[in-house]
Amino acid sequence: MLVLAALAAWAFARRRTDGEAVLAAFPALHFLLLATGSAASPLIAAAGAWAYLAMRARARWSVAAVSLAGVIIPLTPLLAGAQIELRDLVRYGLVYVVGAGISFIPAAARRVAQPDAEPQQKPARTDGSVSDAELTEAAMELVRRATDAQEAALWKMDAHDATAQLRARSAPAGVAEPERRVALEGHPFRWAIDEQMPVHLQRGRRDLPSPWAAEMLLVPVDLPMGVLALAYPGVVPPGAEATALSAARHLSALVSLLRVRADSARAEARTAALRTAVLTLPGELELEPFARQLAEAVRSGLGAEGAAVALAPGVTGPFGRILHVAAEEGRAPRMASEFGDGDSRVALSIKHGVDLSYRDLRAEGELLPLLAPGEMWTAPPRSAAVIPLVADGEPLGAVAAWHPDPARFGTRELELLRDLRSIAPPPLRGTLRLDQVEQRASTDALTGLPNRATFESRMATAGAYFERYSRPFAILMLDVDFFKKFNDEHGHEVGDRVLKHVADLLRSSVRDVDLPARLGGEEFVVLMPETPLKHAGDAAERIRRSIEARPLISNGRALRITASVGVAACPESTSTPGDVLRLADESLYRAKASGRNRVSLAPKSGREQEI
């Protein structure tokens, strides 16, 4: 009996497919049943398990093998003159029928659960062509079938970081997938590449690249560097190596053709991006849409994962600014929106007016952000290119592109960037000048706060939102106490500094959604959307205390500044949006009449409330 068990184990170990393993175990299993009582054997359940596996293999021999097995056990003892009880025969037959029938249950269950399901297909390309990935996967399936392998995988070497990356794979459903990137140091893939000869691996102390495999065949492929890995659950069949060598040559040819097609597609993308830039950028008058169109042109033209447009320090403020990042959803980096000189590679390109290109950022010793400080990437870039945008010697900004794979931007991609550098700066300068004109038209020149016209526009919008959606808002009116004495006693220059000082404190004391503005003279106002009267009064008190607690230092002297504030809200002070500013002004007058340096609320009842 031990000999029979050893024979079954040997047949299983020498299998090439699971179906062959089941067929090879047939003699050993049934001789074991005959030796232990034929149809009355206590091991008869093993016959049902064998019938299940044989039918599950869905091979051409499955039905014949199960039928033959069904007559061997009762027929052999009968031919020898032995007696078999009817109940044992019935039990034996039921075991085979049940085992064979169970093998069809999973497939039937899937059909019941999805009666109208069609075979899954990958979405077709909109232009009707076949993608590179589909062609490569189809080729790998042909290779797998031709070599009689359980799994065929094509690996591409990355010389920059000494790793191998899985490019394509073909295997039946249920076969465990390997890791998609492996280190080459001491790896069997390295042996095939270095020797440029097939390597035959057998299971031993060390796991194979496909851990479940009993044997593997590794064949070098010219990609220029790659490996075709064929995995077998049993022995490598005769002739597989010669077939694999031929398949490797065909795969090399296919990859070369796909490379030519990809180069052609990239050339078309570069031409389209350049044409789009020439036609659209000069006509774009707004800064944000201009940056978006330029970034998208760079991204599509270079085949980059992402691209960004940045403004140089000093153009719109003391710091540089990232205007727009073009990337797939979830792939854009998180970072600061501003940068200073030397804070990033983009900043260096702008400062020195030089083009920067990197085949692999991992190889750079200096850990400098690409765009701005605090970068956090989903997939850190390895290829990168940056060009400054300069008009008449004046640095305006820069354009950057990146990709997570190394060496993605060659000579032609860099030529496109240089072409865009000659196209983009003039319209960018015009857009910046228009933006500055609009900024001056909407901003108070002295304090940098929005002016009266901007406030009145936002005020009208808040009133319209209240009338249509009943959304509340509040207004704070602020006046610097005894402002005239600063001009009379210290001069108008000090008076201007007082106004700037109050404006800075006001700007830092309100929310991002609030609008602080200067109405004129020493009067300021704050529009606070979605704010009830009580909360607006609390905010006004915080602003008043902040101004009182921070004197202005002038010529070594601390000039104490105070302010009076009036507050009104809609609908609590009035249900007419146009009356809120008037009520806030009246409340401000009462605060000044009551002794200044205080906050007064104007409720709808008209009664004065002080905080």
Q: Could you tell me the CATH number of the domain that includes residue 315?
A: 3.30.450.40
Nearest to 480 by CA among 520, 438, 422: 520
Q: Is residue 209 part of a domain?
A: yes
Q: Is residue 277 part of a domain?
A: no
The stretches in the chain having pLDDT less than 50 are 1, 4, 15-16, 106-128, 606-610
Examine the domain organization and report whether 418 and 449 are in the same domain. Answer: no
pLDDT the model gives residue 417: 84
pLDDT the model gives residue 401: 93
pTM over 0.75: no
Q: Is residue 289 part of a domain?
A: no
| Listed residues 258, 283, 313: the one ending a domain | 258
Strand partners, 158: 163
pLDDT the model gives residue 11: 53
How is residue 136 written in tokens?
């490569």
Examine the domain organization and report whether 104 and 163 are in the same domain. Answer: no
| Residue 447: Cβ within 10 Å count | 21
Q: Which domain holds residue 322?
A: 294-424
Please state, in angstroms and as integers, the Cα–Cα distance from residue 61 to each residue in 48, 54, 55, 345, 376, following that order.
Answer: 17, 9, 9, 67, 58
Examine the domain organization and report whether 94 and 51 are in the same domain. Answer: yes
How many Å apart are CA 477 and CA 524, to the nearest integer?
6
The DSSP line for 438-465 is HHHHHB-TTT-SB-HHHHHHHHHHHHHH
Examine the domain organization and report whether 457 and 401 are in the same domain. Answer: no
Examine the domain organization and report whether 594 and 467 are in the same domain. Answer: yes
Examine the domain organization and report whether 19 and 160 are in the same domain. Answer: no
Please state, in angstroms and as integers, the Cα–Cα distance from residue 4 to each residue in 27, 34, 39, 40, 194, following that order.
Answer: 9, 11, 18, 19, 45
Written in H, E and C, the secondary structure of 391-421 is ECCEEEEEEEEEECCCCCCCHHHHHHHHHHH
Examine the domain organization and report whether 459 and 594 are in the same domain. Answer: yes
How many Å apart are CA 287 and CA 316, to the nearest integer?
11
pLDDT tens digits for range 540-573: 999 999 999 999 988 888 999 999 999 999 999 9
- The values of phi and psi at residue 170, to 5°, are -135, 130
Q: Which residue has the tokens 């003391």?
A: 318
Examine the domain organization and report whether 469 and 394 are in the same domain. Answer: no
Helix residue ranges, H only, 15-85: 18-24, 26-35, 45-56, 62-79
How many Å apart are CA 528 and CA 472, to the nearest integer?
9
Q: Could you tell me the CATH number of the domain that includes residue 561?
A: 3.30.70.270
pLDDT tens digits for range 188-210: 888 888 888 899 998 887 788 89
3-class state of residue 608 by DSSP: coil
How many Å apart are CA 219 and CA 184, to the nearest integer?
15
How many Å apart are CA 310 and CA 399, to the nearest integer?
6
